[in-house]
Amino acid sequence: MSQSSVAVFSWPKINDIALSVADGSMTAVANVEKALSLIREYDNTYHAILSTCEELALEKAKKIDDMVASGEWNAEEYPLLGVPFIAKDNLLVKGTETTAASNMLKGFVAPYTATAVQRLENAGAICVGKANLDAFAHGGSTENSDFGVTKNPHDTGRVPGGSSGGSAAAMALGYTPFTLGTDTGGSIRQPASFCGVVGFKPTYGRVSRSGAVAMASSTDVIGPITSNTEDTALIMSVMSGKDELDSTTIDSDPNEFRNVSDKKSVTVGVVKELLSDAVAPEIREEVEAAAQAYRDNGHKVVEVSIPTIDVALATYYVLVPAELSSNLSRHDGQRYQYSADDTATLEESYEKSRTSGFGREAKRRIMLGTYVLSSGFYDAYYKKAQKARTKLISEFNKAFETCDVLLGPTTPSVAFKIGELTDDPIQMYAQDIMTVSVNLAGLPAISMPVVRNSSMPIGVQIIGQHKKDAQVLEVASLLEGRES
């Protein structure tokens, strides 16, 4: 892996930024101003950012600088001291507009802050802006954003991926040292792959979902997008852990992410079903190159089969619309700012608000989800998909009896052209074919970038065992520093 060539600014590693703010050689205010000036200067071209929170961010930065100057503080409590970041705009940051890139939430100012963001800010990090996404995180290209598509920094005629496309593009450009995304079916890993950055999807429940605009509650997870695994580990060490505001969160050892550089010998399983003919040859080659890199470093590489991966996409697109049709019912024009004008009855207000507030993709998914949950079809679709999910999980478990981690591509192709797939939902959904099975099983996984000269980046995916997030980062770190 080489440093992304499209970066407009190269930040030091996050730990080094925090240290330089701590020793006074850099200030939090200067870091925040730098990030904001990069966004101002470059984002007209890329449209990765929906809004900045300049005043709030500078106020928080000033507080940090004052605290450092006072000398009355404990460095151990602030591993992210003065580090600016950008959050996907489906994460609540108190006092900032949070739209989920949908007209439905236009004007909605978050009344509280997402737990994940709060933990980062408690550790000294500062949110400076909100990144574009497909509206309500439905999509793989940001083309479903109600506020315009984000351009891929490697080729502005192409999509950045999605749904966390703004976060991935912002990271590739180097606006901030890290960004946050959410991953329901690949929404961190696929755009990270398209933009040539490191995208990590934690184990389900590792990071609290409190304050994330809900999509599919049984697979949604928040994760970091960075330029290297060391930064990913640092962010995860701060962000993860049990939260009483999300009862699905799991216990975490805070030290787990501290020593991810241990290089123990592992068995890497190359997943046969992830290397089908649907995958572009150049991407298969990069997966093979990664496998070879592991062999060269003394690790064992074997082939494994997880047959139900072949129907994981169908399983996912039954379960996720079902869950989101329920989650999006709260957007009724009465609660969150947006409401249609000129309505005479409550029923009319519901209908007009939802009809004008939701885009085409959300409507399709809401109706599909309602259909598969309806009494006549529940067993034929929803329950069947839930059973397929069980089968998939048991096959992953079996693979992990012989393998420590699994290896495959992140996407079947490199970033596609803007407009190329918008009229074909199944082709667009097929973008998620390499990533959804990981969400259905709740596993941790990372997309590691292969940035190439004069062609679009490729992502190699490493999938780990339930709760073994640190091991994924450890194994992934071996792919860093290679030249393609």
Partner 1 sequence: MKSKITKDEIIALAKLTKLRLSDDEVEQYTNEISELLTYFEQLDKLDLKDVEPTISVGATHSVTRADEVREQVTTPDELMNLPPKKQDDFVQVERMI
Is residue 187 part of the annotated active site? The answer reads yes
Cβ partners under 8 Å of residue 118, min gap 6? 211
Closest CA to 266 of 480, 477, 437, 482: 477
List binders of partner 1 among 126-145 (CB under 8 A).
none
Contact 459, 410 (CB under 8 A): yes
Task: Tell me the closest approach of the beta carbon of residue 411 to partner 1, in angstroms.
Answer: 19
Q: Which amino acid is at 385?
A: A
- Kindly tell me which residue out of 25, 55, 70, 111 binds partner 1, with binding defined by CB under 8 A: 111
Contact 443, 396 (CB under 8 A): yes
Q: Is 71 in the site for partner 1 (CB under 8 A)?
A: no
Of the two residues 15 and 218, which places its CB atom closer to partner 1 in the complex? 218
Residues 197-236 vs partner 1: string with x where CB under 8 A? -------xx------------xx-----------------
Residues 367-396 vs partner 1: string with x where CB under 8 A? xx-xx---------x-xxxxxxxxx-x---
Q: Is 89 in the site for partner 1 (CB under 8 A)?
A: no
Q: How many residues bind partner 1 (CB under 8 A)?
A: 68
Q: Is 51 in the site for partner 1 (CB under 8 A)?
A: no
Of the two residues 82 and 205, which places its CB atom closer to partner 1 in the complex? 205
Of the two residues 223 and 459, which places its CB atom closer to partner 1 in the complex? 223
- Which of these segments, 169-177, 190-198, 260-268, 312-320, binds partner 1 (CB under 8 A)? 312-320
Residues 323-352 vs partner 1: string with x where CB under 8 A? --x---x--xxxxxxxx---xxxxxxxxxx
Contact 475, 405 (CB under 8 A): yes
- Kindly tell me which residue out of 39, 271, 324, 366 binds partner 1, with binding defined by CB under 8 A: 366
Contact 445, 463 (CB under 8 A): yes
Task: Tell me the closest approach of the beta carbon of residue 370 to partner 1, in angstroms.
Answer: 5
165 membership: H or E segment, kind and range: helix 165-173
Instruction: Report how far Cα 52 is from the mean position of its chain's Cα atoms.
Output: 19
The active-site residue out of 102, 163, 240, 325 is: 163
- Which of these segments, 59-67, 104-112, 189-197, 287-295, binds partner 1 (CB under 8 A)? 104-112
Is residue 4 part of the annotated active site? The answer reads no
- Kindly tell me which residue out of 250, 280, 289, 293 binds partner 1, with binding defined by CB under 8 A: 250
Closest CA to 210 of 202, 199, 220: 220
Of the two residues 236 and 460, which places its CB atom closer to partner 1 in the complex? 236
Cβ partners under 8 Å of residue 201, min gap 6? 183, 186, 188, 189, 221, 223, 435, 438, 439, 444, 445, 446
Of the two residues 305 and 355, which places its CB atom closer to partner 1 in the complex? 355
Is residue 88 part of the annotated active site? The answer reads yes
Q: Is 97 in the site for partner 1 (CB under 8 A)?
A: no
Long-range contacts of 150-155 (CB under 8 A, 24+ apart): 150/46, 150/47, 150/48, 151/45, 151/46, 151/47, 151/418, 152/194, 152/195, 152/415, 152/456, 153/4, 153/6, 153/46, 153/195, 154/6, 154/195, 154/196, 154/415, 154/456, 154/457, 155/415, 155/456
CA atoms of 250 and 248, how far apart (whole Å): 6
- Kindly tell me which residue out of 289, 314, 422, 484 binds partner 1, with binding defined by CB under 8 A: 314
User: 187-215: b or e for each residue (b if 16 or more CB lie within 10 Å)?
Assistant: bbbbbbbbbbbbbbbbbbbbbbbbbbbbb
462 forms bridges with which residues in the sheet? 407, 446
3-class SS at 200? strand
Q: Which residues bind partner 1 (CB under 8 A)?
A: 108-109, 111-112, 204-205, 218-219, 244-245, 247-250, 308, 310-311, 314-315, 317-318, 325, 329, 332-339, 343-352, 354-355, 358, 363-364, 366-368, 370-371, 381, 383-391, 393, 425-426, 440-442, 466
